[in-house]
Structure 1
Amino acid sequence: MQQPVSQTRVRPAAPSLMLIGVAGGTLSGLFGIGGGTIIVPALALWLLMPQKLSAGTSVAAILPTAIVGATTYAIHSNVDWAAAIALAVGIIIGAQVGSWLLSRVPVHVVRWVFMGFLAVVIVSLWFVVPQREDTISLTVLTALLLVVTGFITGILSGLLGVGGGVVVVPVLMFFFGASDLVAKGTSLLMMIPGSISGTLGNMRRGNVDLRAAAFVGVAAAAFVPVGATLAGVLDPFWGNLAFSAYLFFLLCQMLVRELRMRRNA
């Protein structure tokens, strides 16, 4: 019988957890992401939480962040509800698969694939600039493709502890014709059921620290509106550049960590 990941190896201080939440929440509102790309490495590298526990804790912390973020964007009519529902159907299933795979699949394989995807997105952001009036044209085929997108995103969410915004936001802009703000708002709304689904799966497998998730999530939720306000002020072109710079930072961070782990092994 598989033993759950120990949650007593480390008990991070509340101020440190809240500081991580502030950073994750601000970026979540600005880029329409869950903040997991900041939360996971901060928990694992700064607060020395085990990698799998960090990933599961991040998924739980994303819930309040996504709720506040989606609400903020929805108030300004920057959410495509139909697209979000289609994505949610896929991510609910995918998150369960991802949390199941978390204890079975070598995560470094997924990280390399994810880094390749990030590299493609970074280049694309310099050539494709969405217009604020762009909308998603929903057809049966589009809905099915959105479900597939949500499913893949859910798997990555469960495995890597990310909310999925770094996947969904560029995909909605480049392949489904969404504006940058609608892509971000829809992404945050999609993360709500994804976070619930992934957290339930991680709780069954002992891969979540609910105390740490609460501190990070509440602090992040308080700062999501700050990032969302900045997103509305930024021109789409400069928003793309800022997002590409963030993804490049993330890519370098993941690459350095992966190479360091391989060298130590």
Structure 2
Amino acid sequence: MVRNRVRIVTPGPGDSLNCVNAEHQAITRGPRAYLSFIGIGLLAGLLSGLFGVGGGTVIVPLLVLLLSFGQRISAGTSLAAIVPTASVGVISYAISGSVAWIPALILAAGAVVGAQIGSRLLPRVSQNALRWGFVVFLIVVIVSLFLVIPSRAAEFELGWLNGVALVAVGVVTGVIAGLIGVGGGVIIVPVLMLGFGTSDLVAKGTSLLMMIPTAVSGTIGNLRHRNVDLVAAALIGVSACTTTALGAWLATRIDPFAGNILFAAYLVVIAVQMALKALRSRRR
């Protein structure tokens, strides 16, 4: 007779992390996963160039839904992929002179500070209240996009007053990004168009430039906490770079009013995502 032996192993300090990593590797590796990374990158890059956003609102939910990524590693991977994507977008808009360089750096400085504030406020603030508040903000922006059509001839003139306003916008954007994980472009682009009177192209180019130092700063922190899948970020980022320039080119060819309608449709999708998150959280 052969007796079955059961061996009980007590997990060591690093075993749980290894198990999680092994499970993560099993889920996110293979032909299907690589094709998904490339597809996600192509779509995110096109939207990034077209709307002046980072693409995180596309990358994060698709990584979660298609590849069962966790929310944190999805956000970290998305942020890392945004660095090359936004860089290509900035070059594309800069060629046509549609980047306000100094305002972008002012916004970025404010956003970096705001992100730190947001991360510290995170445990103390109601996520649901923030999400519903952001949904209301998006609804106001969507309505405004049908009422205010930006002029392509508008120029951004930097002065003391709007310089201080840019710092404030950057800080608020960073705080919101730190609290609910929304990319800055969704906020910066409409604020520059509706609040500062810039053209839609300058708003998009400036938004993309603002994202680069913010994304680099966030990615460094995420790497320290192992919240980035480097293979996924590289594939998504490289794929996105191939379509970002196309999106930026399409933005210059589309009529400003048509561009507003497309951007409004994009914001509707984000508002619905945020509302669904708030509703699911409330049910729990």
In the superposition, the TM-score normalised over structure 2's length comes to 0.84
Residue 202 of structure 1: how far off its partner (Å):
2.2
1:1-265 matched pairs, under 5 angstroms: 8-11=22-25, 12=28, 13-98=33-118, 107-263=127-283, 265=284
Distance, in Å, in 1 between the alignment partners of 2:222 and 2:126 is 17
Residue 21 of structure 1: how far off its partner (Å):
0.9
Residue 136 of structure 1: how far off its partner (Å):
1.9
Could you list the per-position Cα deviations for residues 105-144 of structure 1 after superposition, in whole angstroms to 9, with x for gaps in the alignment? 6644433332222111111111111000112221112112
CA, structure 1 residues 19+238, in 2 after alignment: closer, same or farther (shift >3 Å)? Answer: same
Query: What is the percent sequence identity of the aligned residues?
Result: 53
Residue 179 of structure 1: how far off its partner (Å):
0.2
CA, structure 1 residues 97+7, in 2 after alignment: closer, same or farther (shift >3 Å)? Answer: farther
Task: Please say which structure displays the higher CA radius of gyration.
Answer: 2
Could you list the per-position Cα deviations for residues 13-53 of structure 1 after superposition, in whole angstroms to 9, with x for gaps in the alignment? 22111111111110000000000111111112222111122
Distance, in Å, in 2 between the alignment partners of 1:134 and 1:9 is 52
CA, structure 1 residues 173+95, in 2 after alignment: closer, same or farther (shift >3 Å)? Answer: same
Residue 155 of structure 1: how far off its partner (Å):
2.9
The answer on whether the counterparts of 2:128 and 2:281 sit within 8 Å (CA) in structure 1 is no
Distance, in Å, in 2 between the alignment partners of 1:64 and 1:136 is 26
The one-letter code of the counterpart of 1:237 is F
The answer on whether the counterparts of 2:128 and 2:282 sit within 8 Å (CA) in structure 1 is no
The answer on whether the counterparts of 1:30 and 1:230 sit within 8 Å (CA) in structure 2 is yes
User: 2:9 matched to which residue of 1?
Assistant: none
Distance, in Å, in 2 between the alignment partners of 1:181 and 1:126 is 17
The answer on whether the counterparts of 1:92 and 1:154 sit within 8 Å (CA) in structure 2 is yes
The answer on whether the counterparts of 1:52 and 1:102 sit within 8 Å (CA) in structure 2 is no
Structure 1: which 5+ residue stretches go unaligned? Answer: none
Residue 94 of structure 1: how far off its partner (Å):
2.5
User: 2:4 matched to which residue of 1?
Assistant: none
CA, structure 1 residues 99+218, in 2 after alignment: closer, same or farther (shift >3 Å)? Answer: farther
Could you list the per-position Cα deviations for residues 57-100 of structure 1 after superposition, in whole angstroms to 9, with x for gaps in the alignment? 21111101110000100011000112111111112222344456
> What SS is found at the alignment partner of 2:78?
helix
When the two structures are aligned, how many residues end up with a matched partner?
Answer: 262
Structure 2: which 5+ residue stretches go unaligned? Answer: 1-15
